[in-house]
Chains A and B, each alone.
Chain A
Amino acid sequence: MAESKISPYNLADLKNTTDDALGNYMRSLGFQQDNKTTDIKLAVGYVGCIIAAATFAADYKLGWEATKTWTAVAVFAYMVLNGFYSYWVYFVEKGLVFEGTKSGKHVSIASKTNKHEPTYYLTITTNAPSTDPRKIQAPFPTWFTADGFFVAKPFQQWLASSVGVIGDADAKNAMRDQRDELASPKMPAAEASVPEDIGNGTVESTGVESKGKSGKRSKRK
């Protein structure tokens, strides 16, 4: 698929491109997408539109007087449906980008951005042991070039290393070997004193800044 270029300053484009990539990535890992939330939204919305269309047709064919009562009922029904639709989009769907299951593990991912801030915020809910919704974030330039091209690799690495469920499905990008190596390096005997000198044993991260996890890791010896 040809990568299309977007303006790296347009927050909406950044978010939408990333959201689309997230969905594609999850599907490519074999997660079965659960479309219930979207389907309910679409069903309610389109039923409302059908009611409006029917009212329009009735009014066009039969005129105002004959259709007065039906119109009153239809308007009320439409307002109820529209209210439910708005509630659903605002409170239930709330930024949902992907919801799916793989090998019994259910994951739900919602994204968010703040105005004028080039950071991608994700809220991840899984049925894995820690059931609190997990929040992670990363700046968009992590996976966008300065010209506005999306680069999949750093994006996938960030996701796979930050989210357990994704990392389980994509071992290559999770780079768990590197993570574990950085956390508790298997050092030759001669340099064994170096970690002691640093004090509480905090391992400094080198190289790529996006590996947030290793940067914060501290190991008590």
Chain B
Amino acid sequence: MFGSLANMQPRQLAAQILQFALVLSTAFMLWKGLSVVTDSGSPIVVVLSGSMEPAFQRGDLLFLWNRRQETQVGEVVVYNVRDKDIPIVHRVIRRFGGGSKPLQLLTKGDNNAADDTELYARGQTFLDRKKDVVGSVAGYVPYVGYVTILLSEYPWLKTAMLVFMALTVVLQRE
């Protein structure tokens, strides 16, 4: 299997490795391109909990749009808890400010009994639209997100997938 690699000229080998590097680079740059277009740090997120049932289930893939700063009550937004890297998908139930004053939001999961005040950081009682919100949900695809859930629960899967991809692209010369 690796015999074909050993017989290659150095430039050919460089070209084969470049092909694999381009696959990764293009995938990454497409992701970043989507970020730039939607103006969101994470334009596609996976629903991890059942707190938004029956609207969104665990494993759903959500597409975000962050260019509408005038978020309305009833919109579903994704926000990061301050100082923590946990994105949460909940619905806006109250808004304060807006216009010339900074917009502040209160959120609650459809399937939760209480609003999100307990989830926010210590001393925080509402979300800042500009600073905390990653984007509002513009569309979704069910079940597809389970792949991401698997990859995060079994990290060795990520390495295995990457190694497999690398071998396939570098050794293939069609």
Contact = CB atoms under 8 A, between A and B. Distances in A.
A139 interface: no
Contacts of B24: 52
Contacts of A48: 22, 25
Contacts of A49: 18, 21-22, 25
Interface stretch (A74-82, A102-110, A121-129): A74-82
Interface in B21-53: 21-22, 24-26, 28-29, 32-33, 35-36, 39, 41-42
Contacts of B11: 35, 38-39, 42
A52 B15 contact: no
A45 B18 contact: yes
B25 A41 contact: no
Pairs A-B, 8 closest by C-beta atoms:
A64-B41, A52-B25, A49-B21, A45-B18, A75-B33, A12-B174, A78-B29, A72-B36
27 contacts: A1-B7, A4-B3, A16-B173, A20-B8, A23-B9, A38-B11, A39-B11, A42-B11, A42-B14, A42-B18, A46-B18, A48-B25, A49-B21, A52-B24, A52-B26, A64-B41, A65-B41, A68-B39, A72-B36, A74-B29, A75-B29, A75-B32, A75-B36, A78-B25, A79-B29, A82-B22, A85-B22
Interface of A: 1, 4, 12, 16, 20, 23, 35, 38-39, 41-42, 45-46, 48-49, 52-53, 55-56, 59, 63-65, 68, 71-72, 74-75, 78-79, 82, 85
